A = this chain, B = another copy of it.
Amino acid sequence: MCGMRFSTQELVSEFQHIVLASAGEHGYFERTDSPDTAGPTSLIFLQKAEDLPDQVAVVVTSERVALQVAPVTRALVVSVDDVRLAQALMKRRFDPYLSADTEWEAIHPSAVIHASAKVASGCRIGPNAVIGADCELDENVIIRANAVIEHDVRIGRDSVVHTGVNIGYKSQIGERVNIQAGAIIGGEGYGFVPNKEGSYQPVPHTGYVRLHDDVHVGSNTCIDRGTYGVTEIGAGVKIDNLVHVAHNVQVGENTLLTAQTGVAGSSRIGRHVITSGQVGILDHKTVPDHTILLHRAGVTEDIPTGGKYAGTPAQPLKEYVRTITLAKKVAKLEQKLRKLQAQLDAPD
């Protein structure tokens, strides 16, 4: 890991589809960095010229900033259209990023793996992990320490299941899925019916969870299995920490559910939806494609069309902004009313 060197020539040629130009002398770099952690062998991603560090090997930045910094740095300056996207792609390529505890044997002897489970080549299974009957792990799947995979689970290639995760039986996990530590995939949902005495009878939930390709699940997030069928998370959906997704929910492709959001049973979330933190969505509600839910929006009714919404109950952003400035408005109304009263009471 230490002592790795990358040639800037290689960088530019490997990323020629996004590199617009480069200025300065070619050389080497050892790691990616942010401007404030940079050293003489760092490649950094620079948003503002004033953040340029004294010592740095490569600066990846916009064309505008490149014009400002190229004359004042000895670093190679590489310009791109989208600096943040370049960071995502280049950091993934060049960082010594470890998703596995590679200090352990590929299949740790303390792991408990059922005889009927199929583990493809390139998989790693950490200490004390448990793999149930009839599971299938495709190439290069990583199951980390103390994770538990129940029976009949399928996990696609290059997926990573971090420590202490539980994946419930019959779950279908796509390729390149990343499940952070402590997440519970396929727990039994919350379904109870009161009898005449008011005592709640559980409805067994016997469905499963499907996570499509490239899904990210944050730490300690919970996704319940369907009552009979599937709870389904579309390809490319990114879910943050401590999110609750109830039974039978469907989430469309490339949607973002940020931290502590809760989605109640059977709701339908479209594609390219964004929920900012602590959003709540009641059960059996619809959130259409391209909806953005802000300021802890509470979705209590179907959202009719995409767009920005905020507040509880969720309302179009414009109305919400009007509502939160209401106090000032009412103060003004009071003042006007007093004036009017005075005007009316005044002797002509």
Contact = CB atoms under 8 A, between A and B. Distances in A.
Interface of A: 32-34, 36-37, 82, 84-85, 87-89, 91-92, 95-98, 101, 103-104, 108, 110, 112, 114, 116, 126-128, 130, 132-133, 144-146, 148, 150-151, 162-164, 166, 168-169, 178, 180-182, 184, 187-188, 190-195, 198-204, 206, 214, 216, 218-220, 222, 224, 227-229, 236, 238, 240-242, 244, 246, 254, 256, 258-260, 262, 264, 272, 276-278, 280, 282, 295-296, 298, 300, 312-313, 319, 322-324, 326-327, 329-330, 333-334, 336-337, 340-341, 343-344
Contact of A282 (B224, B229, B277): B277
Given A103-B116, A244-B259, A330-B333, 19 more contacts: A32-B228, A34-B228, A85-B194, A92-B204, A95-B206, A127-B148, A128-B128, A163-B166, A164-B164, A164-B182, A182-B220, A184-B219, A192-B216, A192-B256, A202-B216, A241-B246, A322-B327, A333-B334, A340-B340
Contacts of A145: 112, 130, 148
**CB-CB nearest 3 A-B residue pairs:** A103-B133, A88-B201, A187-B219
Contact of A128 (B101, B112, B133, B214): B112
A33 to B, nearest CB: 6
Contact of A114 (B103, B146, B300): B103
Given A187-B218, A201-B89, A242 B244 contact: yes
Contacts of A344: 340, 343-344
A19 to B, nearest CB: 15
